Amino acid sequence: MIELSHHILDIGENSLRAGAKNIFIEVRVDEREGFLTLEITDDGHGMTEEEKGKALDPFYTTKKVRQVGLGLPMLAQAAERTGGMLTLESEPGKGTKVTAKMGLKHIDRQPLGDVGGAICALIAGNPSTRLVYRHQSTQGVFEMDTAQIEKELSGIPMNHPEVLNFIRKFVNSNVKELCPEG
């Protein structure tokens, strides 16, 4: 994965497979401290201590279509390459929180990429799941909540192509405004 948006999509898909009805994605850019933090929290079925221990092993996966699980290990590696780290918190029946902290200006830090596209991909196949994206930087705060958008749609499905196109542009333009260098 070459962009953080790919990690967002991968972890979001993991959340959906875990039965999450709510997914919260937050990007915090702290220029003073020199870190970018990506945090994804869900209310899925969570993981046992044993599953948490295996989750960062690239040769462990719960997926049936392949024998490796590279998502979390690759994000952990991406964070560590920049002087950061990944933490994984999870409790059965309560959900999971993945936090990746990485050096903001480090040459190996992956760019954000098409965050709006990743969010739209998650919404497209799962329009009833609430997804909140929050982006915070010294420039300000942007938040997009599918529950709020859904109220305004008056019965138009969240995964309607025009709605998804709007969301993609809305998210990407706000992210670019808050974090112009990616």
Q: Are the C-beta atoms of residues 69 and 88 closer than 8 Å to each other? A: no
Q: Are the C-beta atoms of residues 17 and 71 closer than 8 Å to each other? A: no
- State which fold the 4-178 domain adopts: Heat Shock Protein 90 (3.30.565)
Q: What is the pTM of this model?
A: 0.91
Q: For residue 117, what pLDDT is reported?
A: 97
Backbone region of residue 4 per phi and psi (left: phi > 0; alpha: psi in -120 to 50; beta: other values): alpha
Over its length of 182 residues, how does the chain's per-residue pLDDT go in tens digits? Answer: 689 999 999 999 999 999 999 999 999 999 999 999 999 999 999 999 888 888 777 665 554 444 434 689 999 999 999 999 999 999 999 999 999 999 999 999 999 999 999 999 999 999 999 999 999 999 999 999 999 999 999 889 999 999 999 999 999 999 999 886 66
Question: What is Dmax (Cα atoms) for the chain?
Answer: 46
**Residue that the structure tokens 């974090």 belong to:** 179
What order of strands is seen across the sheet that includes strand 130-137?
Answer: 85-91, 95-103, 35-42, 22-30, 130-137, 140-145
Sequence letter at residue 98: V
- The residue extents of the domains of the chain are 4-178
Give tens-digit pLDDT for 106-146: 999 999 999 999 999 999 999 999 999 999 999 999 999 99
What secondary structure letter does DSSP report for 65? S
Q: For residue 69, what pLDDT is reported?
A: 46
